[in-house]
Chains A and B, each alone.
Chain A
Amino acid sequence: MTTARTVLTIAALTLREASRRRVLLALAVLTVLLLALSGWGFSRLAAESTLTSGETRLAASQILNLVMFGFSLIAALGTAFLAGPTLSGETESGIALSVLARPIRRSAFLLGKWLGLVVFGSGFVVLAGLAQCLIVRWTVDYWPPQPAAALALLAAQTIVLLTLSLLLSTVISPMASGVVAVGLFGATWVAGVVGGIGEALGNDGVARVGTVSRMLLPTDGLWRGAMHAFQDPSVFTSFGEEMAGFPFLSEAPLTATYLAWAALWVAMVWGVAAASFLRKDM
């Protein structure tokens, strides 16, 4: 009971920090900007193009995935740079001293921080993603086949990255943890694209780059699952080979095994973060 209260208190504190430090405001401004730009782009696509309806759906699928990638990038940057300061920043500045001297377990403190960041990051991705889907429906009359699954996978991707930056922030400085987490996120995405090209060319060695990187850091794998749920299922049947390896289309849905691996990955990384944080001298 007391542990649950601690977790909820710290989670609420983390959310309050995000809103008071204007992180929320900055995210909202960026999101509105991106939504407005994409809304304008989609409305032009519908009004000025001479594409067939199939081509329009293909274009809408791709652009929707592209914009969603923008959101996942904002969420990744936002949570990675929030997770770093909130933990190692507090231990460095001394804010954590008086808090951890209270009758609370460090693991409960860490879980509270993580939970607050999860609510914040997933909340942002789901709300912004939903708004984007509505804009696309309104402008080009396209509705993704599995919007709920897609948004959940985007949220999962954010959770993976923030768990990683939480782990990093228990061992390195706040700024370094943000930079490393975002760097790894970018590297995994590039590795995923390289792997996709390898698959399209039938080169197994190059294709393996993507597979291995998706296992090491599941952000790119989850992102591909989300893309698949956003895009029009007829894309590959009508355009087939010529779209293979394109970075903003995904050929296959995620397997349950991969989802289980992603969940296990989060649990393991959280466990390592907790072990590292528990042993830390303040």
Chain B
Amino acid sequence: MTVADPTAVGNDAAHRAAAHLVADLPPAPAVWCSALRKRYGSRPAVDDVSLEVGRGEVVGLLGPNGAGKTTVIKMLLGLVHPDAGEVMLLGRPAADPAARARVGYLPELFRYQPWLSAAEVLTLHVRLSGVGVPAREQRDCLSLVGLAERAGDRVGGFSKGMQQRLGLAVALVARPELVILDEPTSALDPLGRADVRDIVLELKSRDVAVLLNSHLIGEVERVCDRVVMLDRGRVAAEGTLLELLGQREVRLQLTDLSPAAEARLAATGDVEQAGDWFTVALPAADDRTAVPDLVRDLVALGARVYAVEPARISLEDRLLGILREGSVSRSGGDR
């Protein structure tokens, strides 16, 4: 008995230390999946896709038609069974339905019970999610997507755009910590698209993670922290916008360029000239002094500076570049 007590105390201390250690760990990512694979017949739809969405992070999923974006999303949500791979949602294995308790989802194919009213659809989803959301909060959710006036109307009479707005409300109503939006603006007018952008940014400000699949690259570029590009079922590229778009450039309109000034331009980085427009690649390790220093030196060397424009490779150009590279290397490999 006297021997047993000290070990018990020791165990207790170890448990507490372990509990502290676990409590101090950062929260598990909102989405974590590893080596997902899915075949439809002999055609691989998704091949070895791994991705992660951190808490409060907005991640864009990009890629051409048939790249496997929707299949990946459906595998995350347990709607499609992966042939291989693992999925964790908000720190729980996705095989457990409870992992989806705080997940909101707007499917690409958005349809809701046409015989229910918009408000009843939300009530149904709140009940299924097991989260107690008061009626007032549900109404607020409908007004957020601009459907407050139509709360009592049957969904069967809604236009496609209104159904997509309702889908957005369904995704947001059960106080999600992760929202998965699959082509959320496909049926929306420009005003609706702006609304979606605001909603995503608002979610981000509340630390809600968002996985956004969209064809509209501009939309992704404006709201996403990180981008994952899929091509033919594989991750073709991923990273933050800065990492992906990386290289920055500056465009200058110059005249009266002396050889010394030309040398100064060339010393900064690769130069391309079109008439009196010069595009200069900036060094990767630029601490934001390269452009003012360059302009100061050019002026000192007698050049006349008419315009200085920061330039950036657009996400669209980068995406097209990656996809073309992929198809070139594939056709090379086929031979």
Give me the interface of A with B, judged by CB distance under 8 Å.
2, 5-6, 9, 13, 16-17, 20-21, 93-95, 97-105, 279, 281-282
A182 to B114, CA, bound (A): 26
| B126-168 near A? 1/0 per residue, CB < 8 Å | 0111100000000000000000000000000000000000010
Interface contact A97-B115, CB-CB below 8 Å: no
CB-CB nearest in chain B for A9: B127
Contact partner of A94 (CB less than 8 A), chosen from B111, B124, B127, B128, is B111
Is B101 close to A, CB under 8 A? yes
Task: State the Cβ distance, A117 to closest chain B Cβ, in Å.
Answer: 16
- Choose, from B75-83, B208-216, B268-276, B306-314, the stretch at the interface: B75-83
| Chain A residue contacts of B109, Cβ below 8 A | 93-94, 97
A and B contact pairs by CB, cutoff 8 A, 16 listed = A9-B127, A13-B113, A94-B110, A97-B107, A97-B111, A98-B106, A98-B110, A99-B128, A100-B78, A101-B79, A101-B105, A101-B107, A103-B129, A103-B130, A279-B81, A282-B79
For B112, the chain A residues whose CB sits under 8 A away are 95, 98
Closest A residue to B104 by CB, please name it: A101
- Given A101-B105, A279-B81, A281-B81: 14 more A-B contacts, CB < 8 Å: A16-B115, A16-B116, A20-B116, A94-B109, A95-B112, A98-B110, A98-B170, A98-B171, A101-B79, A101-B107, A102-B97, A102-B125, A103-B101, A104-B128
- Residues from chain B with a CB closer than 8 A to the CB of A97 are 79, 105, 107, 109, 111
Which residues does chain B contribute within 8 Å of A2, judged by CB atoms? 130
Q: B103 at interface (Cβ–Cβ under 8 A)?
A: yes
Closest-CB distance, B282 to chain A (whole angstroms): 45
B81 touches A94 (CB 8 A): no
Q: Which of A94, A98, A103 contacts B97 (CB 8 A)?
A: A103
| B128 neighbours in A (Cβ, 8 Å) | 6, 9, 99, 102-104
Is the Cβ of B100 less than 8 Å from the Cβ of A102? yes
Would B115 and A20 count as touching, CB distance under 8 A? yes
Nearest CB on B from A76, distance (A): 23
- With A5-B127, A5-B130, A281-B80 as contacts: A101 and B100 at CB distance below 8 Å: yes
Interface size class of B (residues with CB under 8 A): 20 to 34
B204 touches A (CB below 8 Å): no
Contacts of B105 in A (CB 8 A): 97-98, 101
Contact A94 B107 (CB under 8 A): yes
Q: Which of A17, A93, A94, A97 has the most chain B CB atoms inside 10 A of its CB?
A: A97
B194 at the interface (CB under 8 A from A): no
Q: In the complex, are the beta carbons of A95 and B113 less than 8 A apart?
A: yes
Judged by a CB distance under 8 angstroms, whether B98 is at the interface is yes
What distance in Å separates the Cβ of B90 from its nearest Cβ neighbour in chain A?
Answer: 11
B111 x A21 contact (CB < 8 A): no
| A281-B80 Cα distance, complex, nearest whole Å | 4
**Docked complex Cα distance between A16 and B124 (Å):** 12
Residues of chain A within 8 A of B107, CB atoms compared:
94, 97-98, 101
A36–B116 Cα distance when bound, in Å, is 34
Shortest Cβ distance from residue B179 to the other chain A in the assembled complex, whole angstroms:
11
